[in-house]
């Protein structure tokens, strides 16, 4: 009976839930500060931002970014808090315009192409992924406190320009407390102090 159930409607619902969960896991695009998002060497201004969208919409081929002068693309991605980046998907065409390499840099705001000579946190050799199915896992220890991510695509599979349809970012987001620092410090230091007084008072008597 269990097997029959497994192949019945239950399985479809389960698949639907899995897809929803998977989509939620790739929700870091919601945590990008889009006002400050930059894509250098994009042919059409603002097109770089369109590749960060819901996982379910990754196959929408009307939205993409294409490089302009050569095959290089550089994304500067500020987040609205602190991110633990766990995985990346890069989806392109099944041809020479698909990026062949990706280098990730952490917490270097306003990176330029000159800065890409620095040692990246992690480098990936990419495979052509026209369906957005390949997930590249990051070294989580290196990407556990990211407030700004730079993604550099130095080359493709031989075309003059590089085309990217979708970039998926998977991970966890925590709110930044930079603005409420004074309040947080006050609250954080007030509570332990109360406990210390209780502990010390009996001993001094």
Chain segment 91-134, per-residue pLDDT in tens:
999 999 999 999 999 999 999 999 999 999 999 999 999 999 99
* Distance between CA atoms of residues 203 and 205, nearest Å: 5
Q: Is 199 within the bounds of a domain? A: no
CATH number at residue 143: 2.60.120.470
Residue 125 belongs to a domain? yes
67 in any annotated domain: yes
**62 Cβ contact partners less than 8 Å away, ≥ 6 residues apart:** none
Read off the pLDDT of residues 43-101 as tens digits, 9 standing for 90 and up: 999 999 999 999 999 999 999 999 999 999 999 999 999 999 999 999 999 999 999 99
- Residue 196 in domain: no
Percent of the chain scoring above 90 in pLDDT: 72
Determine which of 144-148, 153-157, 175-179, 198-202 has the lowest per-residue pLDDT on average. Answer: 198-202
Looking at the domain assignment, is residue 72 inside a domain? yes
**Total count of domains within the chain:** 1
The SS3 of residue 129 is coil
Residue 18: pLDDT band (50, 70, 90) is: confident
pLDDT tens profile 154-188: 999 999 999 999 999 999 999 976 554 444 444 44
The reported pTM is: 0.78
Residue 180 lies in a domain: no
Give domain status of residue 33, yes or no.
Answer: no
Count of CB atoms situated within 10 Å of the CB of 157: 18
Task: Indicate whether 1 pLDDT > 80.
Answer: no
- The parent domain of residue 147 ranges over 40-171
């Amino acid at each position: 009976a269990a097997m029959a159930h497994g192949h019945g409607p239950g399985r479809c619902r389960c698949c639907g839930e899995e897809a929803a969960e998977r989509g939620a896991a790739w929700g870091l695009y919601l945590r990008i500060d889009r006002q400050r998002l930059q894509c250098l060497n994009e042919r059409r201004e603002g097109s770089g931002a369109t590749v960060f969208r819901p996982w379910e919409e990754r196959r929408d081929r009307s939205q993409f970014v294409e490089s302009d002068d050569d095959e290089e693309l550089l994304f500067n991605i500020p987040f609205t808090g602190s991110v633990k980046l766990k995985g990346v998907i890069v989806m392109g065409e099944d041809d020479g315009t698909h990026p062949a390499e990706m280098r990730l840099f952490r917490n270097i705001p306003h990176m330029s192409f000159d800065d890409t000579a620095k040692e990246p946190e992690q480098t990936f050799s990419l495979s052509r992924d026209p369906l957005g199915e390949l997930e590249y896992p990051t070294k989580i220890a290196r990407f556990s406190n990211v407030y700004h991510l730079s993604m550099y695509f130095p080359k493709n599979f031989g075309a003059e320009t590089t085309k990217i349809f979708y970039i998926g970012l998977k991970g966890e987001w925590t709110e930044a407390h930079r603005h409420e620092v004074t309040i947080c410090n006050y609250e954080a230091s007030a509570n332990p102090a109360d406990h210390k007084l209780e502990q010390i008072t009996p001993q001094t008597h």
